[in-house]
């Protein structure tokens, strides 16, 4: 699949992110991805509040992470979030990069599906509101 939209967030590993070995605990990576995903959704003009206002919830149904090199205390890094699919689901790829060397430290992706808020029925095709917003941004 081709990259449709990409955002980049610069972050730094904080004391509360690390374990006793001063490396970022694996569970905190989901929060880093969430921050980049939030920025990507803002670019699409379809953030979580707008999703709910349009009558759809978008739960994450799949999260996969490949840890390549650990993040360390006070290390600056970049999280890239790239929209890959949107017509039947939201698939977003992530890369965490060393901000000084651009070395890829982590790769991941999430999949979200539209669930109609009223009856909680999963949709097998993305709602037209998402499709139109993506097409508006991607031309």
Domain count of the fold of the chain: 1
Q: Containing domain of residue 17, as a range?
A: 5-138
**pLDDT tens-digit series, residues 6-64:** 999 999 999 999 999 999 999 999 999 999 999 999 999 999 999 999 999 999 999 99
pLDDT at position 107: 98
Contact of 54 with 115, CB cutoff 8 Å: no
**pLDDT tens-digit series, residues 62-97:** 999 999 999 999 999 999 999 999 999 999 999 999
pLDDT at position 1: 55
Say which CATH number the domain at 118 has. 3.10.129.10
DSSP string, 3-27: --EEEEEEEE--GGGB-TTSBB-GG
């Amino acid at each position: 699949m081709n990259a449709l939209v990409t955002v980049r967030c610069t972050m730094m590993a904080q004391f509360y992110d690390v374990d006793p070995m001063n490396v970022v605990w694996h569970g905190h990576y989901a929060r880093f991805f969430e921050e980049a995903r939030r920025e990507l959704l803002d670019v699409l003009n379809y953030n979580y509040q707008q999703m709910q206002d349009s009558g759809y919830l978008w739960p994450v149904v799949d999260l996969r992470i490949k840890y390549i090199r650990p993040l360390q205390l006070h290390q600056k890094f970049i999280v890239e979030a790239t929209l890959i699919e949107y017509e039947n689901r939201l698939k977003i790829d992530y890369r965490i990069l060393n901000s000084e060397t651009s070395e890829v430290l982590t790769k991941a992706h999430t999949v979200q599906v539209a669930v109609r808020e009223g009856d909680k029925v999963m949709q097998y095709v993305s709602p037209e509101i998402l499709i139109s917003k993506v097409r508006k941004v991607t031309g």
